[in-house]
Amino acid sequence: NSDSNQSEAPTSTTHDYSRLPTEMKEAIIEILKLSPLLNEEKLLLSMGIPKGSEVKKRLTRHISEALEIALAFAKPKIIWKIGPTESILPEFAHSRRLSRYLATPQYTALVVGTAGSEWEQRILSTEDPMQAYVFNVAATALARDTHCQASRALAQRYPQYAIGESLSPGTDALPLKLQTDLIRQLPIEKIGVRFDSENLFMQPLASVTSIIGFGEQVERAISIEDCDGITPNCPRCPDRNCRLR
């Protein structure tokens, strides 16, 4: 992929391993530093502007500036917990939807992703309302992209397993209260994220959570091929805004 706005695949800050042994009984927690994968099309789609629509010059200028600054300052990252489903599921309050989703995958990844406090500080420092709006849209796009990069990282690391479509508390028919159970299992402060357990929101605001089941069988699998390929195979890729589509 020759796009200058997309960088290398995410890299882990800890040791790498090719597979999670079936006999493994304890979960692993890791931090992954991600590349800020943004482009103009993604930002326009996040604003609700369809591809091919006419865009005002002022907005185009702000988007170009935001992309340049994001590549320099944004530090998206995730922290995840990977382990046997049988040890992770009991840590959650009972949810029929979650139990059904995790009924077949042998393993589960709990993910917290964030656009990073560095980017939020950049948003707070701007006095131009239009620029602040574009920066906020970029933050949302960066946070959402951590879902996609987490799924890709799992698919690349565990090619022998099917990767399930991710679920997030508060959406996908999962109760928002499960957010507390998910975050309680991760030292999110290590990636600069704080959680307000009373109001159930995270800081920085451009932070997201997801639950990903994976194994020999999953409820609904995604297929993530090598996105650097000349002819990428994109069916069921989680990144609906990927410009390779």
pLDDT per residue, tens digit, the chain (245 aa), is 434 333 344 443 333 334 455 445 678 999 999 988 888 888 888 888 888 889 989 889 989 988 898 888 888 999 999 999 999 999 999 999 999 999 999 999 999 999 988 888 888 888 888 888 999 999 988 998 898 899 999 998 888 899 999 999 998 889 999 999 999 999 999 999 999 988 888 999 899 999 999 999 998 887 665 454 334 444 444 444 444 34
Q: What is the pLDDT of residue 225?
A: 52
Amino acid at 183: I
3-state secondary structure of 112: strand
Q: Which two tokens stand for residue 34?
A: 């991600």
Q: Which two tokens stand for residue 109?
A: 């990844």
Q: What is the pLDDT of residue 6?
A: 39
C-alpha 236/C-alpha 228 separation (Å) is: 16
C-alpha 170/C-alpha 183 separation (Å) is: 13
Q: What is the pLDDT of residue 10?
A: 42
Q: What is the pLDDT of residue 172?
A: 82
Q: Which two tokens stand for residue 7?
A: 């960088």
**DSSP annotation of 167:** B
Burial class (CB in 10 A: 0-12, 13-18, 19+), 221: middle
Q: What is the pLDDT of residue 196?
A: 93
Burial class (CB in 10 A: 0-12, 13-18, 19+), 59: middle
Question: How distant, in Å, are the alpha carbons of 10, 61, 104, 137 from that of 166?
Answer: 18, 34, 14, 22
Q: What is the pLDDT of residue 70?
A: 84
Q: Among positive and negative, which fits the CA dihedral 65, 134, 121, 179? A: negative
Q: Which residues contact 163 (CB under 8 A, 6 or more apart)?
A: 151, 154, 155, 212, 214, 218, 221, 222, 224
